A and B are shown apart, each in its own frame.
Chain A
């Protein structure tokens, strides 16, 4: 099962390598990993998307907590959260097809961020299902390039049970 983990770590050299090494050394899977500083410049936040059965996920979380440089690890599978991914996608769009590509971009509320005679670059934001749907729809025009951030996540302030998280 897919899990999104939120990991607060000390913002110091080598921390990313410790996390990445933990996953590779123990044969865990990373689908995506995101890291940037938080409001506190001494702390970075990682969003890690991973998958595995219950026992593996438990080990991943425990092993992450065991790293001396990790401050807090939360599994978002247990919480209601907002998930977003951003994607830049460059699609072939000559004069004949530009209109159709733009219509699809409009449906998904993508932004056009670059344009040339033969292609359009779109910026899309949404859950992974949404970005995947955009890719599926644009595939027939010919996708020249894609870059994706991987999932970012933040828990919702009010959980479904009405409790403040």
Chain B
């Protein structure tokens, strides 16, 4: 007679077999059996303070490690609290499995206590989701969930677990293979398309690589660098692609888009060939579509066919894995290129971009107040290699993207697609769990930090030395910036005068608190805080009037930038 396990035990055993070591969660009535079984499992569980924190933590864990992030929440409000985190991961294609408790099967549909149709609610913001109805299919469903989360275009997959199934027993059978007739992502690039791409690249006088989050997600950074260097092609990145290519590299031409560098957006405007890798040409990247890259051929590499030709017309579509494509493209290009001297061919183009870079660098003016850009520069200078930067959303996010010098992939965690305030702190916490030896810094605003500040307790409880750098301007800065620029200075509901004392708050949580109000203290205090072995909040009082520039107003063309 084979040994029977409860549903809860099967769940934990399946997670273990999928390689999970750490997951994030919050208990409740519908999942109490799982927590009961957890006592006998080798899995490490991090008890968060809010379910949204659990999902963002799993997300940060996934981005930093490349593994599937996992979280567990209870039914009803536990599940609905998780939705923002799930939508965040979906928008940024982050591999994640979310387990939600559900009321017992006989009660489903009866408006039972703490019942919601979470499968229905999350249908549009998950890659796929399941309600498990048959205990004998639990292990197989979990196997599929992890498989779906990590393959193809990654994304969050939700598995809803009725309470009675967690209590019931059955024989545990682990399916060695996953086979799904209706899901078969294509990793291999089409050779004909690669040859067409290579021919365009050989012809091009002003080629440009535009990389997105897919480069980081598929670990394509080294392959991309190899192509860029060998064929002397400058590289620009979307917000999501940052860290995929070293910002210190001479071919690095910066971030594009709404708050991109002048030279980066100039490059996108003037190029005659965009090799777009792992990006979906989001509205924040393209600006006004009708004039976007008007003179350029576009080669578009993405594993998701729906990304291609969704927003821009493409000359050469390549539906495949970014890394595999870049590796093969290198070979094909090499064969096509023959005697072409790319360095000489592209010299004029690179010179022109460097001229733009010199003329319009990312800059700010000093006036005695602490400038947020200066703070990020200082952070970049002090941070050791492999430092992981998480951000909240708004000005803090854009200044970090512009001024931090990323050199290592998977060191940039930001909510790019959904733009979720409150993402950074729990994401940093998750990243620190994945990378205990790395310095992890959450760059925050005084507004967004308060959206998930409760996770400070989790951080302290688990002795995670996360650093929170608050760029404090007592305002919801990005919205205020729009109000100033586009709404005639009508500052409705963006001034936050009742902010807490963040140093005392840090201390109340049992973390260290630092305050920086004068520029002269910046380096020393920041260095001291960053080198502490404990979690810390660093409250930096920045110039309240400072704005994020350059800026392409929404709906304008990329070369119509506001510079000051």
Contacts and interface: CB of A to CB of B under 8 A. Distances in A.
Interface string B303-317: 011100110000000
A59 interface: yes
Interface in A61-99: 62-63, 65-66, 68-71
B282 interface: no
Interface stretch (B66-74, B91-99, B180-188, B219-227): B180-188
A108 to B, nearest CB: 40
Contacts of A69: 128, 182
A68 B128 contact: yes
Interface string A1-39: 000000001100110011001000100000000000000
A71 B124 contact: no
Nearest to B144: A68
Contacts of A18: 123
Interface in B452-470: none
A68 B148 contact: yes
A116 interface: no
Given A21-B124, A68-B127, A71-B182, A14 B306 contact: no
B2 interface: no
Given A63-B306, A68-B148, A14 B123 contact: yes
A59 B307 CA distance: 9
Interface in B94-124: 119-120, 123-124
Nearest to A58: B309
A70 B182 contact: yes
A63 B308 CA distance: 11
Interface string A39-73: 00000000000000001001100110110111100
A59 B127 CA distance: 17
Contacts of A59: 306, 309-310
Contacts of B305: 62, 65-66
Contacts of B148: 68
Nearest to B182: A71
Nearest to B313: A55
A69 B123 CA distance: 12
Contacts of A70: 182
A16 to B, nearest CB: 11
Interface in B307-355: 309-310
B86 to A, nearest CB: 15
B306 A55 contact: no
Nearest to B185: A66
Interface size class of B (residues with CB under 8 A): 10 to 19
A63 B124 CA distance: 12
A62 B183 contact: no
A30 to B, nearest CB: 16
Contacts of A25: 124
Given A10-B182, A68-B182, A71-B182, A17 B127 contact: no
Contacts of B124: 21, 25
Contacts of A17: 120, 123
A136 to B, nearest CB: 39
Determine the main DSSP class of A at the interface with B. Answer: helix
B310 A68 contact: no
A107 B542 CA distance: 83
Contacts of B131: 13-14
A10 B128 CA distance: 13
Nearest to B119: A14
B8 to A, nearest CB: 24
A10 B182 CA distance: 8
Contacts of B182: 9-10, 68-71
A42 B310 CA distance: 32
Interface string B273-306: 0000000000000000000000000000000111
B123 A66 contact: no
Contacts of B123: 14, 17-18, 21
A95 B180 CA distance: 61
Contact of A71 (B128, B181, B306): B181
Contacts of B306: 59, 62-63, 66
Nearest to B129: A14
A68 B180 contact: yes
Contacts of B119: 14
B471 to A, nearest CB: 35
A14 B128 CA distance: 11
Nearest to B183: A68
The residue among B119, B148, B180, B182 with the most chain A CB atoms within 10 A of its own CB is: B182
A13 B182 CA distance: 16
A71 B184 CA distance: 10
A65 B304 CA distance: 11
A39 to B, nearest CB: 16
A65 to B, nearest CB: 7
Interface in B160-188: 180-183
Interface in B436-481: none
A69 B127 CA distance: 11
Interface in B174-233: 180-183
A58 B181 CA distance: 22
A128 to B, nearest CB: 29
Contacts of A71: 181-182
Contacts of A68: 127-128, 148, 180, 182-183
The residue among A10, A17, A21, A66 with the most chain B CB atoms within 10 A of its own CB is: A66
A65 B153 CA distance: 13
Contacts of A55: 309
A8 to B, nearest CB: 9
Interface of B: 119-120, 123-124, 127-128, 131, 148, 180-183, 304-306, 309-310
- The 6 tightest CB contacts between A and B, nearest first, are A68-B128, A62-B306, A71-B182, A62-B305, A25-B124, A68-B183
Given A59-B306, A68-B127, 14 more contacts: A9-B182, A13-B131, A17-B123, A21-B123, A21-B124, A59-B309, A59-B310, A65-B305, A66-B304, A66-B306, A68-B180, A68-B182, A68-B183, A69-B182
22 contacts: A9-B182, A10-B182, A13-B131, A14-B119, A14-B120, A14-B123, A14-B131, A17-B123, A21-B123, A21-B124, A58-B309, A59-B306, A59-B309, A59-B310, A62-B305, A65-B305, A68-B127, A68-B148, A68-B180, A68-B182, A68-B183, A71-B182
